[in-house]
Amino acid sequence: MNKKVMSLLIVMALFATWISGCTTVAPQAPAAAPAGETVTLEFTQWWEPELPEGAFRALMDEFEAQNPGIKVELISGPYSTTREQVVAGAVAGTMSDVVGLDGAWVSDFVKQGSLASLTDLMAQAGFDDSELAAQIQLNGATYMIPVVNFVYPVFVNLDLMEAAGVANPPSTRSEFAAAAAALTDPTNNVYGWVLPLSLEQPNGIQNDVMSWVWASGGSMMKDGMPDLTNDNVRGVAEYIKGLYDAGVIAPGAFSLREQDKVEEFANGRVGMMISSLAHINMLRERSPDLNFAITALPAADDYTGKRGLPYASWGIGVASNGEHQAEAWKLVEFLMSAETNSKLSSIANAFPGNVNSTPDFVQTDELFGAAFAVFQEGYLANEFVGLPVAEELMRLFDEQFQLYLDGSQTLDEALNQAQEAWMEKF
């Protein structure tokens, strides 16, 4: 072979080897995101089904119009389903970018490291938090912001009350017991009151049991610790036991959940229920002919002070594992702005989470005007918010309370065992 040709082949072989080596060992630069790439935020909540159809999606469309390049995918379902999804996502590390939160969940999620510090996100965005009506904090950092707040008054079926000869919605415990007895008609499957005590979803202890304690200015706590054996809690337990034994509570209480309670009321099978203002829209859509009113939770007959109002919030948080926390915060900020918060609280018929927001329902809707009057005359009370393993505390009390109601143990046994179980969690 010609020496020149041989030399050329050797050079070409060496060059090819060098190129191959460079390709193998040279570090790869991270791929840049394509210009104008759209970020899609997953937002899991139970709010959309409880609002007029299309109303919440319209707000998301407004957010997307103000924030080109960010889309919002709503993952919506009933409260119980949403809770299951969020809990599962927290355990698996797959929580949606933005999540609707119940204050009772926050402590558990923070311990799991599932929620991002909103304090940090607010600082990074230069957000002024003075407009926020409330923040749910643990260890000095905010993890949930109440977007809107719902009081839990008593809903009464006016047609059933008229048929039973009950002139006015009850204001005291004795009046409530008398009304429940008058409304109860087992032959026609109608009962005075509905009490959801499902262990699967034990928030009935918060909304339907302890709410009676707060309505008369009582407490289940003392100096930041459980106090379940005090006279206020004891009196409420005895009162509910009396209603249970009288047969005025809808059957199946031990397995009923909140959504079942609303279903019973919507179908005219119960005369009274304690429920969220958020359910007014649902009742109007489901049962447009249902004639109902709202009143404050009855207080003990000798109580004359301000009444505690059970309440729950549509809280919002951001997942700690999310890749788009800055964009997620933009959505939170949008919902908490005075203008948007006024819109949302108005369509939800709730009290706003922004101190500068004003819902329009106070003057335009008789039912919500009545609820606002109840709110003005009382004070918000929910001692479960921020407690460690709050939902588990409800379940632990629920277990003992059910045994007391069905006669399997005494009141002392129920309250003492619940107290002991709670202390272990503190």
Q: In angstroms, rounded to a whole number, what is the distance separating the alpha carbons of residues 220 and 152?
A: 18
Q: How confident is the model at residue 94 (pLDDT cuts 50, 70, 90)?
A: very high
Q: Which CATH number fits domain 39-149+312-369: 3.40.190.10, 3.90.1150.10, 3.40.50.300, 3.40.50.880?
A: 3.40.190.10
Q: In angstroms, rounded to a whole number, what is the distance separating the alpha carbons of residues 411 and 404?
A: 6
Q: In angstroms, rounded to a whole number, what is the distance separating the alpha carbons of residues 85 and 72?
A: 18
User: Does the CA dihedral 275-278-281-286 come out positive or negative?
Assistant: negative
Per-residue pLDDT, 114:
95
pLDDT tens, residue by residue, 51-91: 989 999 999 999 999 999 999 999 999 988 998 999 999 99
Q: In angstroms, rounded to a whole number, what is the distance separating the alpha carbons of residues 180 and 270?
A: 9
Q: In angstroms, rounded to a whole number, what is the distance separating the alpha carbons of residues 280 and 4?
A: 93
Q: Which residues in 119-263 belong to E strands, given as ranges?
A: 136-138, 141-151, 154-157, 191-193, 221-222, 225-226
Q: In angstroms, rounded to a whole number, what is the distance separating the alpha carbons of residues 156 and 158?
A: 6
Per-residue pLDDT, averaged over 255-274, amounts to: 96
Residue 320, phi-psi category: left (phi > 0), alpha (psi -120 to 50), beta (remainder): alpha
Domain boundaries, the chain: 39-149+312-369, 154-309+388-425
Examine the pLDDT at 29 and tell me if it is beyond 50: no
Examine the pLDDT at 1 and tell me if it is beyond 80: no
How far is CA 414 from its chain centroid? 27
Per-residue pLDDT, 36:
65
Q: How confident is the model at residue 146 (pLDDT cuts 50, 70, 90)?
A: very high
Instruction: Pull the structure tokens for residue 221.
Output: 């706590």
Which of 182, 195, 282 has the alpha carbon at shortest distance from 237? 195
| Percent of the residues in the chain that have a pLDDT greater than 90, as a whole number | 69
Q: In angstroms, rounded to a whole number, what is the distance separating the alpha carbons of residues 150 and 12?
A: 78
Which of 38, 120, 186 has the alpha carbon at shortest distance from 329? 120
Q: In angstroms, rounded to a whole number, what is the distance separating the alpha carbons of residues 190 and 250?
A: 8
- Whether residue 157 contacts residue 265, with contact meaning beta carbons closer than 8 Å, is answered with yes
Per-residue pLDDT, 189:
96
Q: Which CATH class is domain 154-309+388-425?
A: alpha beta
Q: Say which DSSP state 320 is in.
A: T
Per-residue pLDDT, 375:
78
Per-residue pLDDT, averaged over 122-139, amounts to: 91
pLDDT tens, residue by residue, 290-333: 999 999 999 999 999 999 888 888 999 999 999 999 999 999 99
10 vs 150, higher pLDDT: 150
Examine the pLDDT at 2 and tell me if it is beyond 70: no
Domains 39-149+312-369 and 154-309+388-425 share a fold: yes
Per-residue pLDDT, averaged over 2-25, amounts to: 37
* Run of H or E including 154: strand 154-157
Type of residue at 192: G
pLDDT tens, residue by residue, 200-213: 999 999 999 999 99
Which of 112, 110, 169 has the alpha carbon at shortest distance from 141? 110
pLDDT tens, residue by residue, 203-241: 999 999 999 999 999 999 999 899 999 999 999 999 999
CB atoms within 10 A of CB 188: 9
Among 20-29, 98-107, 165-174, the range scoring the smallest mean pLDDT is 20-29
Per-residue pLDDT, averaged over 271-298, amounts to: 92
Report how far apart, in Å, the C-alpha atoms of 282 and of each of 47, 157, 159, 200 are.
11, 15, 19, 23
Q: Compute the residue count for the chain.
A: 426
